[in-house]
C-alpha cells in the first residue's frame, strides 16, 4: 500500500465517522444514547469492508471518543470516570476491533481468491490453446497470444538453434538488445530464472524463465514486468513459472510425437525391407530358376527334344518371364505410391470404356470364363486417372480369377449413389476368413489357400493405394451364399452429384 492510498483510507474513515455523527445528532432526540452505538458499529464495518483494518481501527477509536464526548452526560466533556459509560466505551472499542479484524480477514481471503481465480483463468486459457496446437510453430503462437492477452504485457520465447539461443517469436512491443540476449542465454545454460527480482542479472524490468522439461531445457520465456499491471510482481513470477512449465511440456510433447513418428516410419521401412527381401527371395528366384532351367535344357538337349516339348518349355519360360515382369512392376508401383510420387492425370472417363479395357487386357487369362457385367443406366462421366483405375480393375479381376473355380462366373457391377461411383468385382470362390478381411490390403499379404495360386501379395495393396490417391475407399467382404466381393468407391464431382440426384 502506498502513502497516498494510506492517507486516503484514514481521511475517508474520518469522513464516514463524521457522517455517522451527523446522523446521531439527528436521531439522539428520539433514541436513547446507548442505541446510537449501532450507527458507529455499522460505520466501522463499512470502513473495514471498503478501506481495510487500520482505517477501521482508527474509525472505531474516533467513534468511541466522539460518542463519549457528545452522548455521555455531561455532553461536550470527556467522561472516563463513570464506570457504566467506561464499560460501554471499551465494549464499543473491543467490538469494533474484533469486527474490523474479521471483516478485514474476510476481505483479504476474498482478494486471495480473486487473485487465484485470475491466475487460474490465465493458466486455463494457455492450457486450452496448447492442447489445440499440433506443432512447434502453433505452440509458439498460442503461447504469445494467450500470455500477452492474459497479463497484458510483452513477452518473447527463445529457442536453441545450432548451440545458440535465438528469439523465435515475440510480442510486437518487445524490444531486445545484446545484453538481454546474454541474460536469456545465461538463464538457458544454467537452467535458472534470471532478471528483475531475482538473484542473477537483476537489471531492467524483464524476467527470464527457463523452459524446464523432463529431458532437457527447451528454451527461455521472457516477460516484461509493468508496475501498472493489475498483477503484482509475485503474481507475475508465479504465473511466469507456470507458463514456462506448460510451454516446456507442450514443446516436449511435440518433440516426442515427432520422435515416435520417425521411429514408426523407420520400423515400417524395416518391416517393408524385410518383407521385400523375403518376397524377392522367393518370387524372383522361382521364375528366374524356371527360365534358367528352360534355357539350359534347350542349349544342352535342344537337338534331342521334339518340337512340341521345345514349344512347351518356351511357353513356360514366357509365362515365368511375364510373372517376373509383373512382380517388378508391382514393386515399382507400390514404391511410387508410398513415396507419393504418383501424379494423377484426372479426366472424365466412361465407366463402360474402363471395364472394356480391363477385360481386353486379361482376355487371354479369362479362357472363355463367363463375365457378367451389370451397369446402371445413365452412368455419368467420372473424373479419374484412366490408366491407374484400369490397373485397379485388372488387379481385382486377376484376383477373382485366381481364387475362384475355373469355370465359375465373375461379376462386375457399377452404379452411383449421391456421393460416389461404386464399382464391385465379385466371384464364386471360397472367400476370405472374416478375421483376415482387413489384412488382404496389406503389402505382401496372401491368403494361404488355394496353395496353387501364385502371387506376390501386392495386387490389392496397389489397388488400395491408387483408390486412396483418388480420395476414395476400398474394402472387401464375403458374399451371402458364398463368394467374395471387393467394392471400390470413387467420389463424384458436384456436377455429377446433382445429375445423379436428378436421375434418382
pLDDT given at position 422: 93
Residue found under cell 530358376: 289
pLDDT at residue 352, rounded to an integer: 92
- Reported as a single tens digit per residue, the pLDDT across 422-440 is 999 999 988 888 877 777 8
Residues 37 and 157 in one domain: no
Phi, psi at 416, each rounded to 5°: -120, 140
* pLDDT value at 233 more than 60: yes
The pLDDT of residue 410 is 92
How many folded domains does the chain comprise? 4
Would 467 be classed as within a structural domain?
yes
Residue 474 confidence (pLDDT) above 80: yes
For residue 271, pLDDT over 80 is answered with: no
- Arithmetic mean of pLDDT, 184-191: 88
Give yes or no for residue 4 having a pLDDT over 80.
no
What distance, in Å, lies between the first and last C-alpha atoms of the chain? 79
Q: What is the pTM of this model?
A: 0.46
d(CA 451, CA 456): 13
Which pLDDT score is estimated for 63?
82
Of 193, 211, 213, 191, which Cα lies nearest the Cα of 201?
Answer: 193
390 in the same domain as 243: no
Which residue, 255, 273, 300, sits at the end of a domain? 255
270 domain residue, yes or no: no
Instruction: Classify residue 122: in a domain, yes or no.
Output: no
Structure confidence at residue 500 as a pLDDT band (50, 70, 90) = very low
Domain that holds residue 288: 284-338
Is 126 within a domain?
A: no
**226 and 307 inside one domain:** no
Q: Does residue 66 contact residue 39 with C-beta atoms inside 8 Å? A: no
Nearest residue to 283 (alpha-carbon basis) of 421, 452, 455: 455
| Cα 185 from chain centroid (whole Å) | 30
The SS3 call for residue 368 is: coil
Asked whether residue 224 is domain-assigned, the answer is yes
Cell numbers for 470, please give them: 483418388
User: Are both 351 and 498 inside the same structural domain?
Assistant: yes
Query: CA-based diameter of the chain, in Å?
Result: 153
Sole residue written with cell 472505531: 60
R_g (Cα) of the chain, nearest Å: 44
Per mean pLDDT, which range of 287-301, 315-329, 362-376 is the poorest? 315-329
CATH number at residue 149: 3.30.450.40
Q: What percent of the chain has pLDDT over 90?
A: 8
Predicted local confidence at residue 452, as pLDDT: 47
Query: Are 59 and 17 within 8 A, CB to CB?
Result: yes
Provide the residue count of the chain. Answer: 504
Are 43 and 95 contained in the same domain? Answer: yes
Residue 146 lies in a domain: yes
Residues 22-74: tens digit of each pLDDT: 988 888 778 877 778 788 888 887 887 777 778 888 888 888 788 777 877 77
How far is the C-alpha of 170 from the C-alpha of 122, rounded, in Å? 18
- So what's the pLDDT on residue 311? 83
Preceding peptide of 494 cis, ω within 30°:
no
Per-residue pLDDT, 108: 75
My answer on whether 366 and 445 are in the same domain is yes
Q: How far apart are CA 375 and CA 486, in angstroms?
A: 16
Summarize pLDDT for 390-432 with one digit per residue, the tens. 888 988 998 888 888 888 999 999 999 878 899 999 999 888 8
Judged by DSSP in three states, 178 sits in helix
Q: Is residue 273 part of a domain?
A: no
Q: Residue 362: its pLDDT value, please?
A: 84
Last residue of a domain, one of 255, 271, 297: 255
Cell digits of residue 386 = 484412366
Structural domain includes residue 260: no
For residue 170, give the H/E element and its range: strand 164-170
How far apart (Å, rounded) are the C-alpha atoms in residues 456 and 327?
7
Amino acid at each position: 500500500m502506498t502513502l497516498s492510498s494510506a492517507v486516503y483510507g484514514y481521511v475517508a474513515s474520518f469522513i464516514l465517522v463524521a457522517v455517522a455523527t451527523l446522523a446521531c445528532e439527528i436521531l439522539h432526540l428520539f433514541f436513547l444514547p446507548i442505541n446510537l452505538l449501532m450507527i458507529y458499529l455499522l460505520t466501522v464495518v463499512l470502513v473495514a469492508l471498503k478501506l481495510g483494518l487500520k482505517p477501521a481501527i482508527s474509525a472505531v477509536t474516533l467513534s468511541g471518543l466522539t460518542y463519549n464526548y457528545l452522548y455521555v452526560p455531561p455532553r461536550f466533556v470527556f467522561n472516563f470516570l463513570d464506570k457504566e459509560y467506561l464499560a460501554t466505551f471499551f465494549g464499543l472499542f473491543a467490538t469494533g476491533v474484533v469486527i474490523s479484524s474479521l471483516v478485514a480477514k474476510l476481505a483479504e481471503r476474498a482478494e486471495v481468491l480473486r487473485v487465484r481465480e485470475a491466475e487460474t483463468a490465465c493458466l486455463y486459457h494457455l492450457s486450452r490453446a496448447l492442447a489445440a496446437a499440433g506443432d512447434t510453430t502453433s505452440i509458439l503462437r498460442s503461447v504469445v497470444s494467450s500470455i500477452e492477452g492474459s497479463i497484458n504485457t510483452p513477452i518473447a520465447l527463445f529457442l536453441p538453434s545450432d548451440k545458440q539461443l535465438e528469439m523465435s517469436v515475440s510480442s510486437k512491443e518487445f524490444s531486445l538488445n545484446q545484453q538481454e540476449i546474454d541474460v536469456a542465454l545465461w538463464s538457458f545454460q544454467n537452467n535458472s530464472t534470471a532478471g528483475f527480482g531475482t538473484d542473477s542479472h537483476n537489471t531492467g524490468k524483464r524476467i527470464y524463465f527457463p523452459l524446464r522439461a523432463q529431458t532437457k531445457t527447451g528454451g527461455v520465456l521472457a516477460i516484461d514486468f509493468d508496475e501498472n499491471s493489475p498483477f503484482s510482481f509475485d503474481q507475475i513470477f508465479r504465473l511466469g513459472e507456470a507458463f514456462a512449465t506448460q510451454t516446456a511440456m507442450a514443446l516436449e510433447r511435440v518433440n516426442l510425437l515427432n520422435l515416435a513418428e520417425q521411429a514408426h516410419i523407420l520400423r515400417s521401412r524395416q518391416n517393408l525391407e524385410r518383407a521385400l527381401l523375403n518376397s524377392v527371395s522367393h518370387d524372383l528366384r522361382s521364375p528366374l530358376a524356371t527360365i534358367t532351367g528352360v534355357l539350359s535344357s534347350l542349349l544342352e538337349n535342344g537337338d534331342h527334344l521334339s518340337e512340341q516339348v521345345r514349344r512347351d518349355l518356351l511357353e513356360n519360360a514366357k509365362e515365368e518371364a511375364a510373372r517376373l515382369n509383373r512382380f517388378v512392376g508391382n514393386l515399382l508401383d507400390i514404391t511410387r505410391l508410398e513415396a507419393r510420387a504418383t501424379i494423377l492425370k484426372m479426366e472424365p472417363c466412361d465407366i463402360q470404356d474402363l471395364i472394356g479395357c480391363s477385360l481386353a487386357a486379361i482376355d487371354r487369362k479369362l479362357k472363355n470364363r463367363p463375365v457378367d457385367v451389370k451397369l446402371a443406366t445413365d452412368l455419368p462421366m467420372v473424373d479419374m486417372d484412366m490408366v491407374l483405375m484400369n490397373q485397379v480393375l485388372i488387379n481385382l479381376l486377376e484376383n477373382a480369377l485366381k481364387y475362384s473355380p475355373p469355370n465359375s462366373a465373375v461379376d462386375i457391377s457399377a452404379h452411383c449413389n449421391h456421393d460416389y461411383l461404386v464399382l464391385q468385382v465379385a466371384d464364386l470362390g471360397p472367400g476370405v476368413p472374416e478375421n483376415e478381411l482387413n489384412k488382404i490390403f496389406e503389402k505382401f499379404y496372401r491368403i494361404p489357400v488355394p496353395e496353387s495360386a501364385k502371387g506376390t501379395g501386392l495386387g490389392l495393396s496397389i489397388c488400395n493405394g491408387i483408390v486412396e490417391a483418388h480420395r476414395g475407399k476400398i474394402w472387401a467382404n464375403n458374399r451371402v451364399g458364398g463368394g467374395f466381393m471387393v467394392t471400390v468407391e470413387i467420389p463424384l464431382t458436384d456436377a455429377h452429384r446433382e445429375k445423379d440426384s436428378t436421375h434418382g
